[in-house]
């Protein structure tokens, strides 16, 4: 847990901030939720600015730097294994092509998910990255166990039927929930509610993405309509999210223009929802959002963010 060097300029959360957690919470889970009141450094796909995203090298680096959360995207192989991978297809970050869900774990394990990074980032390239293997969630949990916290996205739920069940099974098998080790995030409210139905102790983060409406581009809308646009959002809208989630993860910019401001952040917080913003890589922007009172940032460069906190 990191404390800000500077005082947060807006109200922090109240004692009634976490209504979404079920009855069976543990001291470790309560501690995790209390720590969401402090600023969280969230390593987006690991230290993915320095090493190939979602690989062990990227997570090792972030873990070594003592980030608060390792962020990752969970998907299913065709034979039902939970794997750590962002895109719906394997084309961009491996030497294969096609939909990730069309491949068995054995086939996915045969891919090289590191060389693309060396080619795209010659300044950060390393022989160690070449030939990096796609990770399973089991492998990540076995490596860091309860010595890390994991911020896991149910990625593309429609393309990954059964993902929520498989994920919750893994979380339970590795005792991650009662030990306060995990947040589950999704853009899809239904996916979060499914996770909650499977285990109502799992702390959930509702992801949102605001962008200009096609009909009236002076007005912002939310991708899945989970809330109205930011200019129309009410306390009731935030409360509806706070009924099942312990926080909200949002974009800051669309096409270079801010889509949220300090009022949005404060209103979310006053309704019991800490605000985490993705994906912030420039120091100046990190500082701006910290001054606006955000509760955490997703970044590919956790080293830059860690320099701003103590």
Active site residue 276: no
- CB-facing half-sphere around the CA of 182: CA atoms within 13 A: 31
Which CA distances in Å does 160 have to 57, 99, 163, 202?
Answer: 26, 11, 6, 20
CB of 47 to ligand G3P, least distance (A): 14
Structure token digits, residue 182: 């995990």
* Contact between residue 44 and residue 299 where contact means Cβ atoms under 8 Å apart: yes
Closest residue to ligand G3P, judged by C-beta, is: 278
CB of 277 to Ca ion, least distance (A): 13
Q: How far apart are CA 50 and CA 57, in angstroms?
A: 9
Question: For residue 57, which phi and psi values (nearest 5 degrees)?
Answer: -60, -40
Structure token digits, residue 101: 């869900």
Per partner kind, with CB cut-offs from 5 to 8 A, the member of Ca ion, ligand G3P, none near residue 298 is ligand G3P
Pick the binder of ligand G3P from 69, 144, 252, 278 (CB under 6 A): 278
Let me know how many helices (H) and strands (E) the chain has, helices first: 11, 14
Q: Which is nearer to ligand G3P, 25 or 47 (CB)?
A: 47
Distance of CA 160 to the CA centre of its chain: 18
**In the beta sheet, which residues pair with residue 47?**
none
Q: From the candidates 50, 63, 86, 174, which is the catalytic residue?
A: 86
Per-residue x/- mask for ligand G3P, residues 76 to 105, rule CB under 6 A? ----------x-------------------
185 binds ligand G3P (CB under 6 A): yes
Distance of CA 266 to the CA centre of its chain: 21
Report the alpha-carbon angle 49-266-273, nearest 5.
70
73 binds Ca ion (CB under 5 A): yes
Pick the binder of ligand G3P from 96, 249, 272, 296 (CB under 6 A): 249
Per partner kind, with CB cut-offs from 5 to 8 A, the member of ligand G3P, Ca ion, none near residue 68 is none
- CB-facing half-sphere around the CA of 243: CA atoms within 13 A: 10
Q: Which is nearer to ligand G3P, 25 or 289 (CB)?
A: 289
Total residues contacting Ca ion by CB under 5 A comes to 2
170 binds ligand G3P (CB under 6 A): no
Structure token digits, residue 258: 């801010």
Closest alpha carbon to 192 in 216, 226, 217: 226
Closest alpha carbon to 301 in 58, 89, 15, 18: 58
Total residues contacting ligand G3P by CB under 6 A comes to 11
153 binds ligand G3P (CB under 6 A): yes
222 binds ligand G3P (CB under 6 A): no
188 binds ligand G3P (CB under 6 A): no
* Contact between residue 102 and residue 125 where contact means Cβ atoms under 8 Å apart: no
Binding to ligand G3P (CB under 6 A): which residues in 28-47? 44
Which residues have a Cβ under 8 Å from the Cβ of 112 and sit 6 or more positions away?
A: 94, 95, 130, 131, 132
CB of 186 to ligand G3P, least distance (A): 9
Per partner kind, with CB cut-offs from 5 to 8 A, the member of ligand G3P, Ca ion, none near residue 249 is ligand G3P
48 binds ligand G3P (CB under 6 A): no
Active site residue 50: no
CB of 192 to Ca ion, least distance (A): 14
Residues that bind ligand G3P (CB under 6 A): 44, 71, 73, 86, 153, 185, 207, 249, 278-279, 298
Active-site amino acid positions:
44, 86
Residues that bind Ca ion (CB under 5 A): 73, 153
């Amino acid at each position: 847990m990191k404390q800000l060097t500077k005082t947060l300029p807006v109200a922090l959360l109240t004692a009634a901030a976490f209504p979404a957690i079920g009855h069976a919470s543990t001291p470790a889970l309560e501690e995790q939720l209390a720590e969401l009141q402090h600023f969280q450094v969230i390593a987006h796909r690991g230290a993915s600015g320095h090493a190939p995203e979602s690989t062990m090298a990227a997570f090792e680096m972030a873990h070594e730097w003592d980030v608060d959360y390792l962020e990752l995207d969970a998907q299913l192989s065709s034979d039902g294994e939970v794997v750590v991978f962002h895109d719906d297809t394997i084309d961009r970050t491996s030497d294969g092509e096609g939909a990730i869900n069309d491949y068995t774990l054995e086939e996915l394990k045969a891919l090289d998910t590191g060389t693309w990074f060396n080619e795209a980032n010659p300044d950060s390239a390393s022989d160690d990255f070449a030939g990096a293997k796609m990770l399973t969630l089991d492998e990540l949990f076995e490596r860091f166990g309860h010595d890390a916290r994991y911020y896991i996205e149910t990625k593309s739920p429609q393309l990954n039927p059964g993902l929520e069940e498989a994920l919750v099974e893994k979380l339970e098998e590795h005792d991650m929930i009662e030990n306060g080790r995990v947040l589950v995030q999704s853009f899809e409210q239904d996916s979060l509610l499914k996770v909650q139905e499977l285990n109502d102790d799992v702390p959930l983060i509702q992801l949102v993405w605001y962008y200009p409406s096609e009909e009236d581009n002076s007005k912002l809308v939310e991708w899945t309509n989970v809330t109205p646009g930011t200019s129309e959002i009410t306390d009731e809208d935030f409360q509806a999210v706070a009924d099942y989630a312990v926080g909200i993860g949002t974009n800051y910019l669309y096409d270079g223009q801010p889509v949220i401001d300090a009022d949005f952040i404060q209103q979310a917080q006053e309704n019991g929802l800490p605000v985490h913003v993705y994906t912030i890589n420039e120091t100046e922007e990190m500082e701006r959002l910290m001054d606006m009172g955000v509760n955490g940032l997703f970044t590919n460069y956790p080293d830059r963010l860690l320099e701003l906190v103590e």
